[in-house]
Amino acid sequence: MKSNEIVQRISYYRSKFNISARELSLMIGKNEGYINKLESNDFNLTINTLLNILDALGVTAEEFFADDYSLFNENKYILQLLNELPPNKKANIIEFLKK
């Protein structure tokens, strides 16, 4: 994944949870302009800082790096429901989806 994609995802989650750039910067122990500079591609992000950002946002690495991250929770819930079904019900759903 390219660094600009990572920055876009940080911005997405920040907006999703209604957290300002200043607030997120302070939450991770950085100066108040850190996230703004990061989102302006002023400097690179370290793995450690990314993990601190994910922790502050309450987002798992699995969710953050998912191909379809905006629908991650919905897809995870659907998968959970499917896993709980007995085999005959799963077969019925597969047949329905093939149509």
Report all structural domains of the chain as residue ranges with CATH numbers, in order of start.
1-63 (1.10.260.40), 66-99 (no CATH)
Residue 41 pLDDT exceeds 90: no
Segments in 1-99 forming alpha helices (H) = 3-16, 21-27, 34-39, 47-57, 61-64, 72-84, 87-98
The angle formed by the CA atoms of residues 24, 25 and 26, to the nearest 5 degrees, is 90
Q: What is the predicted pLDDT for the residue at 32?
A: 95
CA distance 36 to 5: 15
Q: Residue 89 in 3-state DSSP? A: helix
The share of the chain scoring above pLDDT 70, in percent, equals 100
pLDDT above 90 for 99: no
Mean pLDDT of the 69-80 span: 86
More confident residue, 4 or 23: 23
pLDDT of residue 68: 85
